[in-house]
């Protein structure tokens, strides 16, 4: 079975989970977790890098040993080290550790006390009220576990957008090489650039007589052929991902793209608009009676309906059709309009490259500035800087700015918002920075009211500039903590603060609806990568796409500004 980055990252996370449950050396556990993080955020598919002869040990957090294990997984589909651990620790425990509120110690306690070794066994003891009798647990914890299990049962399995790309890229290369294929495009939520993707919808045009579906089901990663016909086939890949391919005539290609791109709500609104004109719109075209009056191109359909072309990212029926009809669609922010990145980490904390190396990489992307935001002192697990270390880094950046031409390195820090709402460095030290990115990294389980008040109190500090990854979610890993983000946004507006759109594919935090809320409230958003390596800087495109889904224009984004305007915008009275 071919393995993609997400598969290998998941294997490494499982190794780390089981080692942690077993009580292994924390540095060994962290090595696997860091490697999993590198793989999960890697723009290129690791199997392609191996095929190209790249030395994987040069990747961040990947030494010779782990590079060998990656190669072993790619070559064999298995990892001997994991097999050995699973002889000592039940593999099902790693699934349990992913549930909110269940860490390694609690999972081990349940295993030792009740023999719970799987999700199914956990559900059984939770429903029979046996968990509350285990030391360290209680009725409330038992109830929370039942709730988490119920959410897990009803959860649709969706891939992060980056992981979907790793699946889609080789598949599309294969499809485009099938004899007779003229055009092949992915539609659906993938084309709308949603943060997660449930399946792939692929549209193809082909020369007459071409047997495209036969070639499609011959793809090397096919696990099951669900259906096969002359114009449509559905397969399940070995990863469990579903792919649907439709062969459409050229004359209907635009209408089919419109229909299968969605969203369903957007399509319904367009069909109603067509009906009001006495027409019919479907995947085959726009019809006046039996006459097809549009359908070969999407723009042609929109034109006939009296609308300008609406970008796929906007097609969620959130007012885009009314805006289009009035000529008021947003001029969406683009990757080319980004002038810098305001959130990245270096070797000083948990990053993998030096300040100079990160700056040179940012300069290579055409940026005018790069903000260095290593972790603050409370983040010991992430190598947070002490007061003296941050002061020394400030001096180092001042010196580097005298040496490195073509880019300005900005002095900053990702400062922890502590549970009481205070910031993790003294104000006089924070005042030496160009700005701050203030984030929550702990005490996620506070009530909505307390979490909200915590952030608002932090914003009261004049040294607060940008709220980092505002909801704390990790897509498919950790839900957002409870927080009244509308109240937080109002507080940010009143105090002259900003919100981050964290572009890492595991975060994309804030989401598209909150981006639009920020725009409507007049709050500027910083799109930043949270890069921990030079590769991480490549993730900016995901943030820009998320911003587009949230209707953000260049003027709504903080770091589209030239340096002098940016620094002026980030000034607060008292800084």
Q: CA 102, 420, 141 angle in degrees (round to 5)?
A: 20
Could you give all domains of the chain from N- to C-terminal order, each with its CATH number? 5-153 (1.10.150.110), 159-247 (3.30.460.10), 265-325 (3.30.210.10), 335-569 (3.20.20.140)
Mean pLDDT value across the chain? 94
Distance of CA 149 to the CA centre of its chain: 24
Asked whether the beta carbons of 358 and 531 are under 8 A apart, the reply is yes
d(CA 334, CA 314): 14
Residue 573 has pLDDT above 80, yes or no: no
- Please write the tens of the pLDDT for every residue from 100-142: 778 888 898 999 999 999 999 999 999 999 999 999 888 888 8
Checking if the pLDDT of 156 tops 80, the result is no
What pLDDT was estimated at residue 42?
A: 85
The pLDDT value recorded for residue 151 is: 72
Evaluate whether 521 touches 489 at the Cβ level (below 8 Å).
Answer: yes
Kindly report, residue by residue over 168-190, the tens digit of the pLDDT. 999 999 999 999 999 999 999 99
- The single residue listed with the structure tokens 């709220």 is 467
Question: 388-397, 524-533, 566-575: lowest mean pLDDT where?
Answer: 566-575
Rounded to the nearest 10 degrees, what angle do helices 5-22 and 104-114 cross at? 60
Query: Is the predicted pLDDT of residue 2 greater than 80, yes or no?
Result: no
DSSP type of residue 336: G
State pLDDT tens for residues 306-348.
Answer: 999 999 999 999 999 999 999 999 999 999 999 999 999 999 9
Interstrand relation of 408-411 and 369-372 (parallel, antiparallel or unpaired): parallel
- The beta strands (E) that lie in 355-511 are given as 369-372, 408-411, 414-416, 437-439, 466-467, 498-502
Q: pLDDT at residue 80 above 90?
A: yes
| Nearest-angstrom CA–CA distance, 543 and 540 | 5
Asked if the model's pLDDT at residue 153 lies above 80, the reply is: no
* Residues pairing with 294 in the sheet: 286
Looking at residue 574, what is its pLDDT?
65
In this prediction, residues 552-573 reach a mean pLDDT of 95
pLDDT at 155 > cutoff 80: no
Closest CA relative to residue 547, chosen from 521, 571, 575, 519: 519
Q: Residue 144: its pLDDT value, please?
A: 84
Report the alpha-carbon distance of residue 172 to residue 190 in Å, rounded. 13
Q: How far is CA 94 from CA 102, 139, 229, in A?
A: 10, 23, 41
Spatial distance between the Cα atoms of 508 and 498, rounded to a whole number of angstroms: 16
* String of DSSP letters for 120-152: HHHHHHHHTT-GGGSTT--HHHHHHHHHHHHHH
- Residue 362's alpha-carbon distances to 37, 437, 535, in angstroms, are 21, 19, 10
- pLDDT-based confidence at residue 528 (cuts at 50, 70, 90): very high
pLDDT digits (tens, 9 = 90+) for 230-280: 899 999 998 889 999 999 999 999 999 999 999 999 999 999 999 999 999
117-126 burial, b if ≥16 CB within 10 A, otherwise e? bebebbbebb
Query: What are 81-97's pLDDT values in tens digits?
Result: 999 999 998 888 888 88
Determine the Cα–Cα distance for residues 238 and 234; give it in Å rounded to an integer: 13
What whole-number distance in Å separates Cα of residue 115 and Cα of residue 109? Answer: 9
Better-scored residue on pLDDT, 199 or 153: 199
Beta-carbon contacts of 49 under 8 Å, excluding residues fewer than 6 positions away, are 56
**Across the strands, what pairs with 204?**
184, 247
Which region among 147-156, 438-447, 483-492, 533-542 has the lowest average model confidence (pLDDT)? 147-156
8-state DSSP, 62: -
Using CA atoms, how far apart are residues 83 and 50, in angstroms rounded to an integer?
Answer: 23
Tell me whether residue 395 is exposed, middle or buried, using C-beta atoms within 10 angstroms of its C-beta: 0 to 12, 13 to 18, 19 or more: exposed
Span 561-571, mean pLDDT?
96
Contact 169, 45 (CB under 8 A): yes
Strand arrangement of the beta sheet that strand 285-288 belongs to:
280-282, 285-288, 291-294
What is the chain's Cα-based Rg? 25
Distance from the Cα of residue 111 to its chain's centroid: 33
Is residue 361 predicted with pLDDT exceeding 90? yes
Q: Which of 452, 428, 429 is nearest to 440 (CA)?
A: 452
Among 42-46, 431-435, 487-491, the least confident range? 42-46
Q: Helix, strand or coil for residue 349? A: coil
240 exposure class (CB count in 10 Å sphere: 0-12, 13-18, 19+):
exposed
Residues 239 and 7 sit within 8 Å (Cβ to Cβ): yes
**How far is the CA of 65 from the CAs of 57, 68, 70, 307, 533, in angstroms?**
8, 5, 9, 57, 20
- pTM of the entire predicted model: 0.87
Residue 280: in which H helix or E strand, if any?
Answer: strand 280-282
Q: Strands of 369-372's sheet, edge to edge?
A: 340-341, 369-372, 408-411
Helices and strands in the chain, H and E counts: 24, 18
Mean pLDDT of all residues in 351-374:
97
Over residues 192-211, the mean pLDDT reads 95
Q: Please state at what angle helix 161-176 crosses helix 5-22, rounded to 10 degrees.
A: 140
> Who has greater pLDDT, 144 or 424?
424
Would you state the pLDDT for residue 288?
97
Mean predicted confidence (pLDDT) in 134-153: 84
Chain-centroid distance, C-alpha 192:
14
pLDDT of 154 higher than 70: no
Asked whether the beta carbons of 286 and 255 are under 8 A apart, the reply is: yes
The β-bridge relationship of strands 232-237 and 242-247 is: antiparallel
For residues 504-530, average pLDDT:
97
Residue 498 β-bridge partners: 466
* 373-394 average pLDDT score: 95
Phi first, then psi, for residue 321 (nearest 5°) are -70, -45
Is the distance from CB of 279 to CB of 293 less than 8 angstroms?
A: yes
Of 21-35, 329-343, 401-415, minimum mean pLDDT range? 21-35
3-state secondary structure of 351: coil
Are 247 and 232 in contact, with CB atoms under 8 Å apart? yes
């Amino acid at each position: 079975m071919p393995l993609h980055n997400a598969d290998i990252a998941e294997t490494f996370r499982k190794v780390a989970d089981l080692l942690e449950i077993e009580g292994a050396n924390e540095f060994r556990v962290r090595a696997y977790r860091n490697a999993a993080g590198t793989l999960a955020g890697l723009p290129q598919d690791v199997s392609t890098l191996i095929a190209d002869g790249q030395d994987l040990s040069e990747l961040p957090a990947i030494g010779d040993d782990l590079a060998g294990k990656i190669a072993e997984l790619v070559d064999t589909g298995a990892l001997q080290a994991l097999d050995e651990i699973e002889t000592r620790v039940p593999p099902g425990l790693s699934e349990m550790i992913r549930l909110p509120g269940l860490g390694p110690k609690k999972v081990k306690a349940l295993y030792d006390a009740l023999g719970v070794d799987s999700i199914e066994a956990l559900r059984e003891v939770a429903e029979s009220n046996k968990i509350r009798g285990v030391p360290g647990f209680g009725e409330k914890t038992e109830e929370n576990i039942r709730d988490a299990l119920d959410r897990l049962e009803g959860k649709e399995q969706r891939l992060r957008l980056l992981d979907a790309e790793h699946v889609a890229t080789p598949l599309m290369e294969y499809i485009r090489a099938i004899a007779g294929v003229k055009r092949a495009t992915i539609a659906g939520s993938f084309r709308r650039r949603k943060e997660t993707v449930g399946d792939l919808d692929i549209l193809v045009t082909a020369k007459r007589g071409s047997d495209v579906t036969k070639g499609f089901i011959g793809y090397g990663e096919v696990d099951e052929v669900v259906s096969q016909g002359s114009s449509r086939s559905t397969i399940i890949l070995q990863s469990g991902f579903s792919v649907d391919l439709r062969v459409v005539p050229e004359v209907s290609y635009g209408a089919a793209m419109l229909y299968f791109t969605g969203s369903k709500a957007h399509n319904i609104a367009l069909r109603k608009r067509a009906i009001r004109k006495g027409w019919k719109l479907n995947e085959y075209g726009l019809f006046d009676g039996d006459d097809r009056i549009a359908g070969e191109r999407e723009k042609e359909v929109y034109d006939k309906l009296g609308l300008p072309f609406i970008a796929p990212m906007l097609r969620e029926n959130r007012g885009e059709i009314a805006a289009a009809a009035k000529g008021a669609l947003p001029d969406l922010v683009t990757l080319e309009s980004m002038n810098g990145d305001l959130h990245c980490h270096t070797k000083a904390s948990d990053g993998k490259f030096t300040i100079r190396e990160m700056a040179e990489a940012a300069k290579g992307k055409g940026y005018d500035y790069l903000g260095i935001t290593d972790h603050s002192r409370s983040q010991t697990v992430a190598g947070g800087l002490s007061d003296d270390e941050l002061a020394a880094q400030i001096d180092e950046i001042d010196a580097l700015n005298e040496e490195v031409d073509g880019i300005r390195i900005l002095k900053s820090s990702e400062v922890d918002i502590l549970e009481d709402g205070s910031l993790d460095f003294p104000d006089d030290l924070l005042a030496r920075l160009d700005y701050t990115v203030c984030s929550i990294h702990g005490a996620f389980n506070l009530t909505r009211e307390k979490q909200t008040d915590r952030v608002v109190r932090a914003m009261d500090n004049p040294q607060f500039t940008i709220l980092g990854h505002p909801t704390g979610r990790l897509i498919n890993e950790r839900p957002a903590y409870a927080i009244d983000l509308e109240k937080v946004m109002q507080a940010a507006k009143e105090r002259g603060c900003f919100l981050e759109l964290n572009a890492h594919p595991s975060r994309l935090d804030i989401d598209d609806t909150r981006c639009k809320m920020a725009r409507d409230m007049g709050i500027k958003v910083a799109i930043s990568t949270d890069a921990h390596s030079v590769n991480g800087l490549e993730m900016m495109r995901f943030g820009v796409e998320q911003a587009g889904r949230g209707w953000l224009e260049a003027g709504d984004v903080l770091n589209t500004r030239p340096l002098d305007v940016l620094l002026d915008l980030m000034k607060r009275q008292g800084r």
